[in-house]
Amino acid sequence: MGLANHPEVIKALQTGAEKYGVGSGAAHLISGHSTAHHALEEELAEFTGRQRTLIFSTGYMANLGVIATLLGKNGAIFQDKLNHASMIDGGLLSGAKLQRYLHADMSSLKQKLSSCHAETKLVATDGVFSMDGDIAPINDLAAITNQHQTWLMVDDAHGIGVIGEQGKGTLDQLNMTANDVPILMGTFGKAFGTFGAFVAGAESLIETLIQSARTYIYTTALPPAIAHATRTSLKLIIKGNEQREHLQTLIKKFKQGAEQLGLNLMPSDTAIQPLLVNNVEKLLSLKNNLQQQGYIVGAIRSPTVPAGSERLRITLSAAHEAQHIEKLLSALASALKETS
Ligand SMILES: *Cc1c(COP(=O)(O)O)cnc(C)c1O
């Protein structure tokens, strides 16, 4: 969304630092919780349409905190094979039985759920998958978890701010409510352009996290100046429909151009547009070639993605212009020619 360099967000960080200082000085439950954190939590509750939210210092810690709080050794966690590492690690930390179902494959999930008799069960999924850019079948997940009396958690790090009306994310885009998905996690480091994360849910969930989530309790609170800047990001996100439409136009333009070039794009309609290049040497020379032409494109390898599915992770931004897409496409074409 181009917010990390937005003048209003930069200004808010400066005024936040003047008002609150730079660091929070302590954990939330000691004296680190400022009025900036409190105001942001209330605004996020309204934004997500949930009773309450809780700020964590990073998304990684939010996922660890939620999963390890809800599940213990007698629990079971069901994870999409392509889930972000922080949810996988949360599952490991909790000691719960870890079951990974095939990517977006509901019969694989149902099979695993039916044969599981754990006390507490949680299905966890990315909203927008971080390395593939596709969207989880949350409607189906909600129906299945409801039927199996299982918690459902969505990590919407790549959906919140970028898709949905007012940037309300993947759940909004799929018309899902808090009843369908009781646990929502979002981060500030991506579309918000700042740093940190939040968990949104029912009063009882948030109260339980405050009492028990060790990654909330035993760490220094997010700098209040960052919370203050994030409040400004949130305001810009809410009124950013025009920027989101612009981004969607760029995504369509890129996909059309890539198809004309015969590029092997993965099936994604989001800002994450991976191009499979499963020869690691070629992948790295493509990345370097693009960098020399002025384009920063991540070369994603194993173990971040399965070996054999190495890729260029092309990431579009609302701060890009149509001409950037045209130039990127011709840079890609020439890079591919030179490295073939
Ligand atoms: C970036 C990301 C995280 C981690 O968030 P941080 O704030 O960077 O720790 C978690 N989940 C997903 C899907 C992400 O993309």
Q: Pick from 50, 324, 102, 338: which is nearest to 206 by CA?
A: 50
List, in sequence order, every beta strand (DSSP E) within the chain. Answer: 52-56, 75-80, 97-101, 120-126, 151-155, 183-187, 197-201, 272-276, 298-300, 311-315
**Residue 198: phi, psi to the nearest 5?**
-145, 160
Q: Are residues 72 and 99 in the same domain?
A: yes
Q: Pick from 91, 40, 41: which is nearest to 63 by CA?
A: 91
Last residue of a domain, one of 238, 257, 292: 238
pLDDT (0 to 100) of residue 264: 86
pLDDT (0 to 100) of residue 339: 86
Last residue of a domain, one of 196, 215, 238: 238
Structure tokens, 81: 């094979």
pLDDT (0 to 100) of residue 281: 95
Sequence-separated (6 or more) residues with CB below 8 Å from residue 52: 41, 45, 200, 201, 202, 203, 205, 206, 207
pLDDT (0 to 100) of residue 278: 84
Q: Is 59 close to ligand 1, i.e. is its CB under 6 Å away? A: yes
Last residue of a domain, one of 238, 258, 275: 238
Distance CA 59, CA 56 (A): 7
Block mean pLDDT (10 aa), the chain, length 340: 97 98 96 97 98 98 98 97 96 96 97 95 98 97 96 98 98 96 98 98 98 98 98 98 98 96 93 94 96 96 92 96 97 91
Q: Choose which residue among 84, 222, 230 to substitute to test ligand 1 binding: the one with the highest number of ligand atoms within 8 A of its C-beta.
A: 84
Got the DSSP string for 219-256?
SBPPPHHHHHHHHHHHHHHHT-HHHHHHHHHHHHHHHH
Q: What is the CATH number of the domain that holds 79?
A: 3.40.640.10
Beta bridge partners of 295: none
Q: What is the CATH number of the domain that holds 324?
A: 3.90.1150.10
Q: What is the DSSP letter of 165?
A: G
Taking CA atoms only, the protein residue closest to ligand 1 atom 4 is 59
Q: Are residues 33 and 163 in the same domain?
A: yes
Q: Are residues 57 and 15 in the same domain?
A: yes
Number of domains in the chain: 2
pLDDT (0 to 100) of residue 176: 96
In-domain check, residue 217: yes
Q: What angle do CA 111, 115, 121 make, to 5 degrees?
A: 95
Host domain of residue 73: 7-238
Q: Is 168 a catalytic residue?
A: no
